Chain A
């Protein structure tokens, strides 16, 4: 099956490893990602905080391109890009004047056809159908991930229906189960890690992350797993700082969900780019004889 794909800026830069993993892992699961042409930045949280028109108009151009691509569905792995694009699609649906105003500037007009999927939508389906379990030949015995959803995987500043539980989502746990990993139960899976504040308001960001780190450790997790490149980068780069400030002895590796699936499929460290983590991420897996 071919599916349209919007990587977003982060997956073409600091989280390029996530882009490579998504393409590889999803293709092995039967979904070939076709990157839409000439896409632009979704505007992220910054557009929403600066200008309401741009917050819709920037993802709208990508929606027009996706509509013209001929594919029925588009997957957006970055939680922030996904959230902004879903919100834009909803705003355009309910406001024909706005749609017209934006369409006037676009060469590929928004038609409202494309169905948007988060990476978790896709992976949960593949876990339920047994496809992940069948391809995950190396069971992740001994891995106890704290599944971390962050903010944008489940919460939207508008009425957007999600299939998972908002306060206690289970999608990632379901994928982990298919991989043979023992996801822990914990309290901070949807709390904010402060990624958007890590540069401009770091005291707040570090405090938010310390709560997440403390709870995961207290519950016996030996790693985090996430779908969001903003969360991954923030928690990977700054857990040490939070640890130093709040006397937390340990930092846990932060895996993208595609890394755990990849390891379970037998894909190697270099191909998965597991050596690009701030917090060493291969040692734990080697200790468990998974690499």
Chain B
């Protein structure tokens, strides 16, 4: 648990809280810091920041801290915090909103692999209307490798990652759990239009 002191940014507090509340549909002001969410958060030990802490950052207007913390990226969307919250605040919706804000503001995600993973999933879906597991993993690994190279000389990390995934792939093939056929839907144009609308 971080012992960092949070201070209120009077200039920005209102606007950040309003933006996050409106987009996530969550009433952050109802949080009375009982920390029931923190007790149940399965990744709290890894992230240092628990849901209550994240809500506080937003309420106090600390945009930098709210957009740059591990909970936003490592939240596994298990929905335990929101299910147990006595005030019905779903922090998983707040982490979703903050992830989207990071993307829109072209900021560097704190855990790039998570961002690549979800982007690759949607990219593949937009191509066929259904997820193609092999294309999805391909897009993800390429993006990952590019990032490792950009960071400087991460060849070893790239090889380790690919080896890992190939092991799984080989096993899946043996078990006939890998499928090579491409399922493309007839109504793909509708999906494309929905994706276009989503960008607006």
Contact = CB atoms under 8 A, between A and B. Distances in A.
A194 B76 contact: yes
A47 B99 CA distance: 11
A38 B185 contact: yes
Given A194-B76, A237-B168, A276-B175, A47 B122 contact: yes
Given A105-B194, A278-B175, A61 B80 contact: no
Interface of B is mostly: helix
Contact of B133 (A14, A17, A51, A273): A14
Interface residues of A, number: 60
A116 B145 CA distance: 41
A196 B76 contact: yes
A-B interface, 9 closest residue pairs, ranked by CB to CB distance from nearest: A46-B121, A192-B78, A155-B79, A9-B131, A46-B118, A200-B117, A151-B78, A200-B113, A157-B90
B162 to A, nearest CB: 12
Interface size grouping (class) on chain B: 35 or more
Contacts of A286: none
B191 A38 contact: no
Given A41-B129, A57-B198, A49 B77 contact: yes
A199 B161 CA distance: 10
Nearest to B77: A45
B171 A278 contact: yes
Nearest to B26: A157
Nearest to B178: A14
Contacts of B159: none
Interface in A186-219: 191-192, 194, 196-197, 199-201, 203-204, 207-208
